[in-house]
């Protein structure tokens, strides 16, 4: 058990310290009342049944009943507080997870898939919330139960008490062994679940390729391997629990057998009473049972701590720098010797010593072959990734020093792969902002979405990831969203790559007639669009190969000439 893990777990529980103290107090009272029950049973047996005192028997039975009702009432009160802590802890952990997740750099999502993130969230939070399980709080009360039980044992029968004391270290060693074994198995189980979740996310996202290449049997074989590994670890954990419980039952039965035999001998020799013997057995359980419970807590924590470590490690991942200086008015964007590598491929530059200036209000096209750095260039401008060296400034201010949310509010982005949320068209247009009906109408008309809206209305549900819309409809909706939000910088990332001729016409019209005062950055290889640009930047292997107007490059640069010739054939 690592001290760091214990420390982090205590930090998570710190907000509930007074409620936990209340539960412990209730449990101590409960343990104290429970220790009275064997004494009442002793009196019922010795004074009532054997002594023949009917009045005492009825009184002790009523007292026992009232005490049990009191203990049950206290249990209900305790569970109300405990369940409240457990639910609140679950909610707070989930909130912190989501809040942190939404502020992580995009490099984190390059290494994780949806299923893996969701599974880790579910498993870790469920495991951590086990700390508010009834059995954990029960242990605190059992410490006092052991003390009270030991006192009761020596008062009732000092000779037999020695037998119980001898059993304690034996039970401790056995419980300790099982706790160590369980910790190993739980670590293996969590790891196998994490690996499986990552694999499953890849399968779901690659289902199209699985169908096209007939990979069903191969993927099913992999699925069986992963599941067999998980099931095997689960089987080991369950068998270990069975062995633990069986061993405990056998040891307890050996103890009870010895107490029955030795107690009976003392009863026959008139050294003790029958009631005292049975009360002694009850106190023996108060002393020996908690030992296993206490060691089982270590076994339970062995399953919790790996999740605590992973959760805390996740929370400590560096977030985006949100706070910063006030965003300046729109100005030139300048990149100076900018270099950047992705975490997934740290030995290769995606962008290397890139220097260029995008004039405010200009239209700039970025072209190049696949892997030349076009999308990386856009991602750096949007501060989705951090560059390793160089500088990017807006109006002579380093963009990394600017307040992030305000800085991103300078950009509207229309991408080739449009992301829509499972809601109405209006929801996806407005994105939680209020716009006038006239502004929405203008955006719909300018983007070419008007015909679709007439047929389906703004309340049409687009489906998960926009599956209820065609590619062209999604592209028009994305353009309408950019027009509606009307931000000073417009980025079109291969926005016309998968669109029909009508969608392209609306985009071209918007660039020519509506975006005249905006800074436009477009990734495209459309000859028609390139001719509209003030500047064309040709990237090759993360570096600027050449730049200039369409006519300048066409007349002076052979690489550009070759690319245009290839695109037009």
**H, E, C per residue of 478-514:** HHHHHHHHCCCEEEEECCCCCCCHHHHHHHHHHHHHH
Cα four-point dihedral sign 185, 188, 194, 196:
negative
Residue 426 and residue 462 in one domain: yes
- Say yes or no: 238 and 378 in one domain: no
**Structural domain includes residue 144:** no
Task: For residues 37 and 64, give the distance between their C-alpha atoms in angstroms, rounded to a whole number.
Answer: 7
Q: Which of 477, 472, 480, 487 is nearest to 443 (CA)?
A: 480
CA distance 398 to 440: 34
What would the pLDDT profile of 536-557 be if each residue is shown by its tens digit?
A: 988 888 888 888 888 888 888 8
Asked if 40 contacts 267 with a C-beta cutoff of 8 angstroms, the reply is no
Res 254 pLDDT > 60: yes
Q: Dig out the tokens for 431 from the structure.
A: 């994105």
In 3D space, the residue among 80, 39, 552 whose CA is nearest the CA of residue 564 turns out to be 552
Domain contains 50? no
User: Which residues constitute the domain of residue 524?
Assistant: 333-567
Counting the structural domains of the chain, the total is 2
Alpha carbons 43 and 336: distance in angstroms, whole number: 91
Distance, in Å, from the CA atom of 85 to the CA atom of 78, rounded to the nearest integer, reads: 11
Cα distances (Å, whole numbers) of residue 345 to 107, 195, 312, 349: 11, 21, 26, 8
Cα atoms in the 13 Å half-sphere on the side-chain side of 265: 8
The reported pLDDT for the residue numbered 420 is 85
pTM over 0.75, yes/no: no
d(Cα 559, Cα 545) in Å, to the nearest integer?
A: 9
The pLDDT > 90 percentage for the chain reads 8
Does the residue 3 lie in any domain?
no
d(CA 240, CA 182): 7
**What is residue 53's three-state secondary structure?**
coil
Nearest to 331 by CA among 405, 402, 384: 402
Is 497 a residue whose pLDDT tops 70?
A: no
At which of 264, 284, 315 does a domain end? 315
Q: Residues 274-328: pLDDT tens digits? A: 888 888 888 887 777 777 667 667 667 777 888 888 888 888 888 888 888 998 8
Q: What is the pLDDT of residue 322?
A: 85
Q: Which long-range contacts (CB under 8 A, 24 or more apart) does 96-99 make?
A: 96/315, 97/121, 97/125, 97/311, 97/314, 97/315
Q: Could you give the CA distance from residue 200 to residue 22 in angstroms, rounded to a whole number?
A: 44
Residue found under tokens 């687009």: 462
Q: What is the pLDDT of residue 346?
A: 78
Per-residue model confidence as pLDDT tens digits over 147-179: 777 887 888 888 888 888 887 788 878 877 887
Residues 288 and 413 in one domain: no
**pLDDT band of 61, cuts 50, 70, 90:** very high
Instruction: Give the model's pLDDT for residue 503.
Output: 67
Q: Supply the DSSP string of 353-377, one letter for each residue.
A: EEEEEE-TT-EEEEE-STTSSHHHH
The pLDDT tens digits of the residues spanning 96-121 come to 888 998 888 888 887 776 767 777 78
Instruction: Summarize pLDDT for 392-403 with one digit per residue, the tens.
Output: 999 889 988 999
* Measured distance CA(489)–CA(492) in Å, rounded: 10
- pLDDT level of residue 34 (50, 70, 90 thresholds): confident
Distance CA 536, CA 365 (A): 5
Q: Looking at the structure, do residues 114 and 248 belong to the same domain, yes or no?
A: yes
Q: Which residues fall within 8 angstroms of residue 458, CB to CB, at 6 or more apart?
A: 424, 425, 426, 429, 440
Structure tokens at 212: 């096209």
Check whether 1 has a pLDDT greater than 60: no
Residue 241 lies in a domain: yes
CATH number, domain with residue 174: 1.20.1560.10
Average pLDDT, rounded, for the chain: 84
Residue 84 reports pLDDT greater than 80: yes
Identify whether 493 is part of a domain. Answer: yes
Same domain, 375 and 294: no
Predicted pLDDT of residue 63: 92
């Amino acid at each position: 058990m690592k001290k760091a893990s214990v420390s982090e777990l205590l930090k998570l529980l710190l907000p509930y310290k007074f409620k936990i103290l209340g539960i412990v107090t209730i449990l101590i009272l409960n343990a104290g009342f429970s220790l009275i029950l064997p004494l009442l049973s002793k009196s019922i047996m010795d004074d009532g049944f054997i002594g023949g005192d009917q009045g005492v028997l009825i009184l002790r039975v009523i007292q026992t009943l009232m005490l049990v009702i009191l203990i049950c009432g206290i249990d209900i009160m305790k569970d109300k507080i405990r369940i409240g802590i457990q639910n609140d802890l679950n909610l707070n952990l989930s909130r912190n997870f989501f809040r942190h997740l939404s502020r992580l750099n995009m490099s984190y999502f390059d290494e994780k898939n949806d299923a893996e993130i969701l599974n880790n969230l579910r498993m870790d939070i469920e495991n951590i919330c086990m700390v508010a399980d009834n059995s954990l709080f029960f242990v605190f009360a059992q410490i006092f139960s052991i003390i009270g039980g030991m006192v009761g044992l020596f008062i009732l029968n000092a000779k037999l008490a020695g037998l119980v004391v001898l059993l304690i270290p034996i039970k401790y060693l056995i419980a300790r062994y099982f706790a160590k074994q369980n910790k190993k198995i739980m670590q293996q189980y969590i790891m196998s679940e994490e690996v499986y979740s990552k694999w499953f996310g890849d399968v779901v996202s690659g289902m199209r390729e699985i169908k096209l290449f007939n990979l069903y049997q191969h993927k099913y074989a992999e699925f069986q391997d992963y599941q067999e590994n998980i099931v095997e670890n689960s089987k080991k954990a369950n068998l270990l629990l069975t062995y633990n419980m069986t061993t405990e039952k056998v040891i307890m039965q050996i103890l009870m057998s010895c107490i029955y035999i030795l107690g009976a001998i003392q009863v026959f020799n008139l050294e003790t009473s029958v009631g005292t013997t049975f009360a002694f057995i009850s106190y023996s359980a108060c002393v020996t049972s908690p030992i296993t419970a206490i060691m089982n807590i270590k076994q339970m924590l062995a399953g919790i701590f790996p999740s605590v470590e992973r959760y805390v490690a996740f929370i400590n991942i560096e977030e985006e720098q949100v706070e910063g200086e006030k965003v300046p008015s729109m100005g030139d964007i300048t990149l100076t010797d900018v270099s950047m590598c992705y975490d997934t491929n740290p030995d290769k530059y995606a962008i290397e010593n890139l220097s260029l200036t995008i004039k405010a209000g200009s239209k700039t096209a970025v072209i190049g072959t696949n892997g030349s750095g076009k999308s990386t260039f856009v991602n750096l401008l949007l501060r989705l990734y951090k560059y390793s060296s160089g500088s990017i400034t807006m109006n002579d201010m380093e963009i990394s020093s600017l307040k992030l949310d305000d800085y991103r509010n300078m950009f509207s982005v229309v991408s080739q792969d449009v992301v829509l949320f499972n809601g109405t068209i209006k929801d996806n247009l407005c994105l939680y902002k209020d716009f006038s009906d006239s502004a929405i109408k203008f955006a719909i008309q300018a983007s070419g979405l008007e015909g679709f809206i007439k047929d389906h209305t703004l309340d049409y549900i687009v489906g998960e990831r926009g599956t209820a819309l065609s590619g062209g409809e999604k592209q028009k909706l994305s353009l309408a969203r950019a027009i509606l939000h009307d931000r000073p910088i417009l980025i079109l990332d291969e926005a016309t790559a998968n669109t029909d001729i009508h969608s392209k016409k609306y985009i071209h019209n918007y660039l020519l007639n509506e975006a005249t005062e905006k800074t436009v950055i477009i990734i495209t290889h459309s000859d028609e669009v390139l001719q509209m640009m003030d500047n064309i930047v040709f990237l090759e292997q993360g570096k600027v190969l050449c730049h200039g107007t369409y006519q300048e490059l066409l007349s002076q640069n052979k690489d550009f000439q070759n690319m245009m010739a290839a695109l037009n054939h």
